[in-house]
Amino acid sequence: MPVESGSSVAARQAKQKRKSHSLSIRRTNSTEQERSGLQRDMLEGQDSKLPLSLRSNLLDLFSQIEREFENLYIENLELRREIETLNERLAGEGQTFEGADLAKGALKTKASHSTSQLSQKLKTTYKASTSKIVSSFKATTSRAVCQLVREYVGHRDGIWDLSVTRTQPVVLGTASADHTAMLWSIETGKCLLKYMGHQGSVNSIKFHPTEQMALTASGDQTAHIWRYMVQLPTPQPVADISVSIKPVSVCHCEFLMFQTPCDDDVDFSDKDEADGEIEGPNDCPSVRVATTTLRSHQGVVIAADWLVGGKQVVTASWDRAANLYDVETSELVHSLTGHDQELTHCCTHPTQRLVVTSSRDTTFRLWDFRDPSIHSVNVFQGHTDTVTSAVFTVGDNVVSGSDDRTVKVWDLKNMRSPIATIRTDSAVNRISVSVNQKIIALPHDNRQVRLFDMSGVRLARLPRSNRQGHRRMVCCSAWCEDNTSCNLFTCGFDRQAIGWNINIPALLQEK
């Protein structure tokens, strides 16, 4: 009796497989035609705004997708039958479990060996280039606890910048595209003062280190220095405030604090545009004349800051220059030129006569005025897109943020390469660093605010939902080191500033 060879058996099985597969496809096609006819009849009887030809094309496409899935399902069933046949054959030879285990073990050994080789190759290849890169998704055992405390609402347009006073009384200042700057009570959220001296968008606000003076930069190509006098209101229980609300006399920033839950899902900007009659805090005192007006720029003044001591200020403009002024005489001391494109931000060192300017030319520059006879400048090219801000820390570090979705930490003693790089998923706007806790707050275009330590480890992301957090781009962040209910403030183009309470575990503070 002739014995059938292994090759002939395999050929016969393959032939049967193709035959059964072709039969299944024919069955599928015939049933599909019947099914498509029924579906077309059903669709013709339904009301739809789509044209009949478009609906027919969609039906054909969905039928093809269903056919592909059905073919895959049939192939899966055939593979399962083949596996069962092989298991039965191995069972007849007494190798059911031992053979299966050996096969699995061999596969596992081979897979683990290849995986370890690939892992080692990747580590060896990219170790040098990634040694200084810190992932923004690195997990930490202890995280910061973030809680929204208060919202400051009253501007009629987006808020570009905010700052906290360095002297008593401690108040919050905001600079808005509605041509005004406002001072707020941190504890009550009430507007205390409105500055209305600019003819363009107010892009920046900074407070004098020792006196009650504010410095604002504007799109009207000027920077203003103006004095303020405010008296903090006495905080009242929430129940008493809610009972005594009167729409005529209460300022808009307080009125929006008591919205119903359904109103929280509405964008503030859309609500203001719909109302059309809201004029912001009308009962706030206002200042309309500046003490000092600084004029010499030929473009928008995007930022300004006080040098240590408060006797000089520096301004950054879209005319590609930064200017150093004397506060007492209003005279231009130095014009800091060299950037190839518009400036985006400027910042001064808290204890030394150092200035850092950032620009759309992907660089930021460090200007040294410690020696009156020598004004050195260093250029740093660590980013690939617009540098949106660069700020000093209390130590010898500079932190820069960019539209290239990275934040880099630099050492002033060795600025050739960053000591840490933070990679994010969105462009970074005006960052700030906590003096006491050394935490970096990153406001993003995607409405998120993230917190990192100086080594680049992510600590937390501020909560954001339909009921809390920013609803549009977050433009700026600012820390408050005084003993207040809020120690971090953020502002955005949703026309509001938000006060947060950030609680850092002791373990993270020691690091």
pLDDT of 256 over the 80 cut: no
- Residue 212's pLDDT band, with cuts at 50, 70 and 90, is very high
Measured CA to CA, the distance from residue 406 to residue 132 in angstroms comes to 13
Q: Classify 510 in phi/psi space as left (phi over 0), alpha (psi -120 to 50) or beta.
A: alpha
pLDDT per residue as tens digits for the range 286-334: 999 999 999 999 999 999 999 999 999 999 999 999 999 999 999 999 9
Structure confidence by residue, pLDDT tens digits, 364-378: 999 999 887 777 888
pLDDT of residue 116: 57
The predicted pLDDT at position 506 comes to: 57
Mean per-residue pLDDT, 22-34: 50
Q: What is the average pLDDT value for the chain, to the nearest integer?
A: 79
Question: What's the number of CA atoms in the CB half-sphere (13 Å) around residue 175?
Answer: 31
- Report the alpha-carbon distance of residue 380 to residue 409 in Å, rounded: 12
Average of per-residue pLDDT across 27-40: 56
What confidence tens digit (pLDDT) does each residue in 149-181 have?
999 999 999 999 999 998 889 999 999 999 999
For residue 143, what pLDDT is reported?
66
**Is residue 458 a contact partner of residue 115, using CB atoms and an 8 Å limit?**
no
pLDDT in the model for residue 281: 54
β-strand partners of 89: none
What domains lie within the chain, and their CATH numbers? 145-229+284-508 (2.130.10.10)
The least confident of 96-100, 143-147, 251-255, 315-319 is 251-255
Q: How far is CA 375 from CA 90, 346, 353, 500, in A?
A: 85, 17, 10, 40
Distances in whole angstroms, Cα of residue 23 to Cα of each of 16, 28, 77, 499: 10, 8, 15, 69
Least confident of 8-17, 57-66, 441-450: 8-17
Of residues 267 and 501, the one with the higher pLDDT is 501
Of 79-88, 105-114, 284-293, minimum mean pLDDT range:
105-114
Of the given ranges (72-81, 249-258, 325-334, 464-473), which has the lowest mean pLDDT?
249-258
* Mean pLDDT (whole number) for 43-72: 80
Percent of the chain with pLDDT over 90: 50
Q: pLDDT band at 271, cuts 50/70/90?
A: very low
| Euclidean distance between CA atoms 439 and 468, whole angstroms | 22
